[in-house]
Amino acid sequence: MDILNLTAVSLGEKIKAKEVSVKEATKACLGQIEKQDKTLNSFITVEPEKALEQAEKVQQKIDAGELTGPLAGVPVAVKDNMLVKGGLTTCASHILDHFHPAFSSTAVEKLQAAGAVILGKTNMDEFAMGSTTETSYFGPTRNPWNTEHVPGGSSGGSCAAVASGEAIYALGSDTGGSIRQPSSFCGVTGIKPTYGTVSRYGLVAYGSSLDQIGPIAKDVRDCATVLETIAGYDPKDSTSVKRDDYGFTKALTGSAKGLRIGIPEEYFGEGLDPEVKKSILDAAEALKAQGAEVSYFHLPLVEYAIPAYYIIACAEASSNLERFDGVKYGYRTKEYEGLHNMYKKTRSEGFGAEVKRRIILGSFVLSSGYYDAYYLKALRVKALIKKAFDEAFEKYDVILAPASPTTAPKLGESLSDPIQMYLGDIYTISVNLCGLPGITVPCGMDSKGLPIGVQFIGNVFREDHILQAGYAYEQTRTMEICPLCR
């Protein structure tokens, strides 16, 4: 039995059955990190001793019957924009490269309460701004299926870690596709829940109205199980929502019968790689065979989602990142003359190019004379896009879509043309603008041997529909195993 190939739920069962100890599981992942991470660079921080110490404590609690949940003892990796007390949280930025938070994020606390063993903090695009994990101050992460290629982003480290068996599952965050797109590139499953489902307390903000934490794992059951653990109303997050039901695993019926699935024609036109297209449409066929009602429809305004998104996300980011100023924490420039020079040098040296690019755009669109023309306009367009989705969900339970127009590009191919990179977010971004849940499930490989993922999008608070669709689809195929795990 190879621990690294187990899902979180099956490893949890084996730990409960005493077939595997928590320490063995932890050591297996640490061993894989040791072996692979010099190449992959999935992690910014790994703390083996702390992980093994945790493993021991969790084992005691399991043995004492105090921890009985499905994730007890299962090793996890956490994206480095979520605070974990007792170590570093860097957001993959020079400006925070020595930052020790005084508290843990709510999602991490919930995982720890469920007996998770935290292996370390994963690499990402700096402040989650990027689609390739190349904007990290700590260097890019590589795709475990082919290390010439990027893992996607911004949760590229978390997705690469799960794909390569460096972690059994991981937490990511998704502001414009940052869980779903790298999940697709790395052949893993990742879900972005409805906005407000998982507390944002302790998540370093990029675009506050768009950010959500979500699980990245090997399959749909793992995602549903992890989501059940980390979701919940949090009085510390004013935007967190009190939901009636957090029983996500109940949706895993294994059947797609009666599910109304809509395919937006606009998502399958120009720009979509033919291999990706075929793979996605095959997934639709498979679900049809499972009893789902599948049909095409027109989803208007698709091409306006990206400009609206970048205005809103960059405006919020420009404000959220103002706190990094060299006064209270983080990097401060060595030499400066007076207060404003200190601010400018600290921030110019502390932030990377992509972060600065977005701060500049965000500051500009909010500045005097432009607010109405850009920011307010984007908020109006967002209202129209939301309306379009509301109408679609009157007819459909699930919208089926690609997660990205292509499979993972090679390292260095994307950053030279930012707009081209932003266009890659076309299938994922509306979900964030409208607060919808979306899940990516592996659906095949291209001719280069790179994974393809299919995305299921649900109406707000209808994770059950996309989990049902994803799980039913998953039952129709066998999971590819990443070469590094074989």
Partner 1 sequence: MANVISDETMEYVGILAKLELTGEEKENARKDLEKMLDYVDKLNELDVSGVEPMSHIFPVNNVFREDEVTNGDGSKDTMANAPAQKDNQFIVPKTIG
Partner 2 sequence: MAKEYETVIGLEVHVELATKTKIFCGCSTAFGGAPNTHTCPVCTGMPGSLPVLNKKVLEYAVAVGLATNCDITRYSKFDRKNYFYPDNPQNYQISQLYLPICRNGHVDIDTAGGKKQIRIHEIHMEEDAGKLIHDEWNDTSLVDYNRSGVPLIEIVSEPDMRSADEVIAYLEKLRMTIQYLGASDCKLNEGSMRADVNLSVREVGSQKLGTRTEMKNINSFKAIQHAIEGERQRQIEELEEGREVIQETRRWDDNKESSRPMRSKEDAQDYRYFPDPDLTPIVISDEFLAKIKSQEPEMQDAKIARYQKEFDLPEYDAQIITSVKKMADFFEDTVALGANPKKVSNWLMGETMRLQKEKGMDQDQIPFSPENLASLIALTEDGSINSSVAKEVFEQVFADDVDPKQYVEEHGLKSMNDEGALRGIVEEKIAANPKAVEDYRGGKKKAIGAIVGQVMKETKGKADPGTVNKLIKEILG
How many alpha carbons fall within 13 Å on the CB side of residue 193? 31
| Count of other CB atoms within 10 angstroms of residue 383 | 12
319 scored as a contact of partner 2 (CB under 8 A): yes
Question: Tokens 């005097």 label which residue?
Answer: 368
Tokens of 183: 């999940």
Q: Which does 360 bind (CB under 5 to 8 A by kind): partner 1, partner 2, none?
A: partner 1
User: Cis link prior to 155 (omega < 30° from 0)?
Assistant: no
Angle, helices 22-40 vs 8-16, to 10°: value is 150
Least distance to partner 1, CB of residue 435, Å: 4
List the single partner that 98 binds among partner 2, partner 1, none, CB under 5 to 8 Å by kind: partner 1
Residues 257 and 151: their CA atoms lie apart, in Å, by 34
Site map (CB under 8 A) of partner 1, residues 300-339, x = contact: -x-xx--xx-xx------x---x--xxxxxxxx---xxxx
Question: Smallest gap, in angstroms, from Cβ of residue 207 to partner 2?
Answer: 8
Residue 178: active-site member:
yes
- Any idea what DSSP says for residue 454? E
Among partner 1, partner 2, none, partner that 443 touches (CB below 5 to 8 angstroms by kind): none
Tell which residue, 140, 187, 125, has the closest CA to residue 162: 187
CB count in 10 Å sphere of residue 424: 22
Q: Which is nearer to partner 2, 267 or 343 (CB)?
A: 343
| Residue 233 touches partner 2, criterion: CB under 8 A | no
**Strands 43-46, 117-122: pairing kind:** antiparallel
316 binds, among partner 1, partner 2, none (CB under 5 to 8 A by kind): partner 2
Nearer to partner 1, 57 or 380 (CB): 380
104 is catalytic: no
Per-residue binding string, partner 1, 444-473, x by CB under 8 A, is ----------------x-------------
Give yes or no for residue 112 binding partner 2 (CB under 8 A). no
Which residue stretch of 94-102, 161-169, 213-221, 254-262 sits at the interface with partner 1 (rule: CB under 8 A)? 94-102
Strand order in the sheet with 260-264: 43-46, 117-122, 75-79, 169-174, 212-217, 189-192, 438-445, 451-458, 398-402, 260-264, 293-297
List the catalytic residue out of 79, 110, 121, 382. 79
Note if 395 is an active site residue: no
User: What span, in angstroms and rounded, lies between the C-alpha atoms of 223 and 168?
Assistant: 11
Site of interaction with partner 2 (CB under 8 A): 82-83, 89, 91, 96, 99, 101-103, 105, 200-205, 207-209, 235-239, 315-316, 318-319, 322-325, 327-329, 339-340, 343, 363, 366-368, 371, 375
What is the set of active-site residues?
A: 79, 154, 178
